[in-house]
Amino acid sequence: MTNLRFRFSIRQLLLMTVVVALFLCAYNWWSGPSLDDRMVRAAERGDTFMFAALIALGAQVDRGFGTGGYDTTPLMDAAYDGDLRAIELYLQHGAYVDYQEKDCFTAINYAAMEGHWDIVLRLHAAGADPHHRDATGSTAVDYAKEQGRYDIAEELKKRSAREARPEGERSTRE
């Protein structure tokens, strides 16, 4: 039996260490969380560069990931959590604002139910329907009234009335 001896220089050992480390990083990247989960984390951190990169790599801004089996979208979860920074990222990348989960809640319903009025107004400005009824029969306008935010309820009604007017017709206040 022959005695095997390996002789490596310090440079060779360092190179092998770097190659193994890169391989482990790549393996962790590809076997780790999905692109969609990474996109959600990037939005939560406000990391716009990583968010855009993950969208370019194929992350789906409107994918439902079923938190608790409700098939919510990242936009809906951000609305529920009150994360305006994430809301802006999702809207900039074309998130559908009126997606309904299994109990007919939309992002604007979640935001209104939780009292995130800045998000309610932002979602409405992006085209969300404040009169959509969820499974409880409530709308964003109803939630505003229930929480004593009559100013928000009136603002939503005003904006909706303006949008419903035939093109070219203006109200006397405009």
Burial code of 63-83, b = ≥16 C-beta within 10 A, e = fewer?
A: bbeeeeeebbbbbbbbbbbbb
Tell me the per-residue pLDDT of 81-127, one tens digit each, with 9 for 90 and over.
999 999 999 999 999 999 998 888 999 999 999 999 999 999 999 99
* pLDDT given for residue 1 in this prediction: 57
Task: Find out whether 129 and 164 touch, Cβ atoms under 8 Å.
Answer: no
Do residues 64 and 101 lie in contact, with contact meaning Cβ atoms separated by under 8 Å?
yes
Other Cβ atoms within 10 Å of 123 Cβ, number = 28
Asked whether residue 2 is assigned to any structural domain, the reply reads no
pLDDT of residue 39: 87
Q: Residue 84 sits in a domain of what CATH number?
A: 1.25.40.20
pLDDT at 122: 95
Is residue 96 situated within a structural domain? yes
Binning pLDDT at 50, 70 and 90, where does residue 165 land? very low
Domain that holds residue 76: 61-164
Residue 9 lies in a domain: no
Residue 75 forms part of a structural domain: yes
Is residue 8 domain-resident?
A: no
Query: Does residue 76 fall inside a structural domain?
Result: yes
Condensed to tens digits (0 to 9), the pLDDT of residues 10-25 reads 888 899 999 988 887 7
Residue 81 maps to a domain: yes
Helices 150-164, 117-125: axis angle to 10 degrees equals 0
Q: Is residue 18 part of a domain?
A: no
Domain count, the chain: 1
Separation CA 89–CA 107 (nearest Å): 14
